[in-house]
Structure formats: C-alpha cells, structure tokens
Amino acid sequence: MVEHYQNRWVRKALDSDGDGHLDGRRIFIYDGNQIVMDFRRANSQDMQIGHLRQRYLWGPAVDQVLAEEAVDGGTDDLVQWTLTDHLNTVRDIARFDPQTGATTVVNHLVYDAFGKVTAETNPAVDSLFLFTARPFDPDTQLQNNLNRWYDARVGRWLSEDPVGYDAGDINLYRYLHNNLLLLTDPLGLYSGITGPCEIKIWMGDTVLSKGSLLNFLNDNRDPGDHPLCPSKYLGVVGCGSYVPAAISADQQIPGYGGPPELLHASKFIEVANAALKAAEKFARQLCENRKKFCDDGTPERYECGAKNQRCDSVRITVTYDRYLSRLLNEGIAPDGTRIFGLPSPASRELLRRLNALMRRSKKINCLNE
C-alpha cells in the first residue's frame, strides 16, 4: 500500500507468494478525496493509460458514490449503480445492460453491525466501495478512511486516532463511539464531520436566563462542552433542555391575563424568536463551512471544531419539555396547580402564538445554498 502526503491511498502492489514478482498493481486517481479512476495491471511492468479499468461517479455529499463504470477497451462500457443507505453503505448493485437497455440488481449485500459483509447474492459482482462507501481492499480485508485503516472483522481501527483525545473518545481505537447506526468517519479522525446537522432550541421548566441561549448560538459554542452531548462531532449543534434559554416557563405563560403574566409571555416569545434568528445565522455559517472546507482538498479542513462544523443540511426546531407542554396545552404549572382560568382575549392570542412557536421547524439544505 502506498499513500501520498495527504494520506490518500494511491497505489497497491500484490505479491501473493512472496517470490519478489508482483502479481498485479493498482493506481488510484483522485478528485479531492474521492477516487475517480482505477488503473490496473496484471504484472510489474509500467502502467499505461490503456490500463484504466474503472471510473467512479460521485454526488455532492462526502462519500456519496453513485455509479462505477467498468472500462474494457473496444467493448461497451459496463455501468453499475451503487444503491446506498443513509450512511452511504452500498446495499445493492444494479447493472445497466446497453444491449437490452434494462437495469437489474445484480448483487445484494448484508453487513453485520460493524460493517463486515456477511452475505451477498452474487459475490462475483464486486465493488471498490462497500461499507460507508470507503475503499475496501479484499486482500487485506481492510477499509481505507484516509488517515487510518479500519478492520470491520474486529470493529476497530488499526492505529490510534491521529488527533488523540480531541475526537471526544477516551478509547483511541474505538470506531465511532460504537454508534455505527448514525455516524460515519470518512477521514479516520472524527465522527460525523459532515452530514445532516440539527439545532434544537429547548424551552421549558429547566431554562434559566435570557442571554445564555443567544450566546450559545452566536458564539458557536462547542456542543461537546454540554453534558448531554456524548461527542462534539455528532452533528448536533445545540442539545438538551439544560441549555439556558429564558426565564422559567411557569413565570412566562399567560395565566389570568394580568399585566405581569402577559409581559412575561411576550418576553418569552421575543427571546424564542431572537434565538430562531441566531440559529438561522448559525445554520448559514455551517452551510458556508461545508463549501469552504469540504471541497478544497486541503488537510487543514480536518481540524474540526464547533466553528468549523460542516453540514449537508441543518434542521432548526423549537421544542419544549413536558412541563411546558402541560402549561401550553392544559394550563397546569410544574407544581400541579392550574394557572389558566378564563383567559382574556390578549392572553388567548399569546397562547396561540406560543403554541405556534413551539412547533416551529425549518430545514436548510446546504447543498442547494
């Protein structure tokens, strides 16, 4: 295996019997961090342009493999479409037949929890990209994730994390905090560097002060600092109802329509709307980060932190805990007392606005920005 200075796997030479004579060689050509061409030769002689055997088509997201084209000089090129899941793991391979114009699934793959192929309907139909669409070497049974090699047979990395404990795991060999159903690590450094992100604005009985949530969003505070976030690279920017957002809920919901209650409710709406604006501003920055850091091919972009978090999409939601839910829907405070009697028209309007606010959800697709 040969890797160049940015840790891309660029060459493979195979001597299966150890006699010093190569059985074959492969050279990979990249566009950014994605392999786009695969040259192969069955001996140790020099590689020529005519030895191009595969071309690969990629989508705009990281490791979004779409198709591979088998190049066999003089005959019609054979196109295989890779059908993937939410992690970009190849689940099915469909082949287009230029003679008949038909496309059929020619191989269905089944994986175990850590990405090892346990069954396939047609092993003769292979692909360079399998689990999470990272390059797989069938001779070593290892997967290349740029900065490290991953062994799905044992579910761990072969080497320690190059960024050490900054990745958020005390076990430097563990793969994705053992959370393989939700996360990927295309670089072998951090989990979930790109992908769908979520900003949650929580309101409820546990919230404390007005300014803290706005500071949390405006300062792009590292979500890894928050005790409810197991890692700062999980694609969740704000999480947990302990994120301070406003004055406690029972002091802000309109009760009998008196001036203090109406004032508190108006302040609650004001704070939540300000938080929404800050969240949208933060989301736009996350989209800009993806443009700046995901396509230039420089290693500096891998030094990920809260301000450099990058996302394919960002969903902003305003939600509330069970105490605030009871207040909004039943008029019952956290201590069990009923605070809604016969609300005035003004308090009914505030209650309507609060309910609408608590169901707010907006998705920003960074790929279309």
Domain co-membership, 128 together with 218: no
Split at pLDDT 50, 70, 90, the class of 292 is low
Tens-digit pLDDT profile for residues 196-210: 666 766 665 443 344
Contact, 235 vs 311, CB < 8 A?
yes
Name 2's bridge partners.
11
Contact, 271 vs 245, CB < 8 A?
yes
Residue that finishes a domain, picked among 166, 184, 219 = 166
Average pLDDT over residues 10-17: 76
Domain co-membership, 26 together with 144: yes
- Give residues with Cβ within 8 angstroms of 202, minimum separation 6: 238, 240, 241, 243, 245, 319, 320, 321
Residue that finishes a domain, picked among 166, 182, 216 = 166
Residue that finishes a domain, picked among 166, 181, 206 = 166
Domain co-membership, 14 together with 154: yes
Q: Is residue 187 in a domain?
A: no
Q: Is residue 175 in a domain?
A: no
> In terms of residue numbers, what domain contains 146?
2-166
Closest CA to 89 of 69, 122, 118: 118
Average pLDDT over residues 293-302: 42
Alpha-carbon distances of 23 from 28, 38, 54, 117, 127, rounded to whole Å = 17, 17, 19, 25, 20
Q: Which amino acid is at 368?
A: N
> For position 73, what pLDDT does the model report?
56
Tens-digit pLDDT profile for residues 128-186: 999 999 999 988 999 999 889 999 999 999 999 887 876 667 899 999 888 787 778 88
Number of domains in the chain: 2
The length of the chain is: 369
Q: Is residue 151 in a domain?
A: yes
% pLDDT > 90, the chain = 21
Name 59's bridge partners.
none
Domain co-membership, 152 together with 213: no
Of residues 328 and 27, the one with the higher pLDDT is 27
Domain co-membership, 210 together with 345: yes
* Residue where the block lists tokens 């999409």: 313
> For position 300, what pLDDT does the model report?
36
Domain co-membership, 159 together with 253: no
Of residues 252 and 11, the one with the higher pLDDT is 11
Domain co-membership, 146 together with 200: no
What's the whole-model pTM score? 0.54
Q: Is residue 15 in a domain?
A: yes
Alpha-carbon distances of 336 from 130, 202, 257, 324, rounded to whole Å = 54, 21, 19, 12
Give the torsion sign (CA, 213, 215, 221, 224). negative
> For position 290, what pLDDT does the model report?
65
Q: How far apart, in whole angstroms, are the C-alpha atoms of residue 292 and residue 192?
A: 17
Q: Is residue 360 in a domain?
A: yes
Domain co-membership, 103 together with 251: no
Name 27's bridge partners.
11, 39
Domain co-membership, 43 together with 133: yes
Highest mean pLDDT among 177-186, 225-234, 270-279, 311-320: 177-186
**Angle at CA 79, nearest 5°, toward 78 and 83?**
145
Tens-digit pLDDT profile for residues 49-104: 558 889 999 987 778 899 998 887 555 668 899 999 988 999 999 998 878 888 89
> For position 13, what pLDDT does the model report?
80
Q: Is residue 191 in a domain?
A: no
Domain co-membership, 122 together with 235: no
Q: How far apart, in whole angstroms, are the C-alpha atoms of residue 267 and residue 113?
A: 48
Q: How far apart, in whole angstroms, are the C-alpha atoms of residue 368 and residue 354?
A: 31
Q: And the tokens for 204? A: 């409820």
Q: Is residue 119 in a domain?
A: yes
Domain co-membership, 18 together with 100: yes
Q: Is residue 186 in a domain?
A: no
- From the number of C-beta atoms within 10 Å of its C-beta (0-12, 13-18, 19+), residue 169 rates as buried
Domain co-membership, 90 together with 217: no
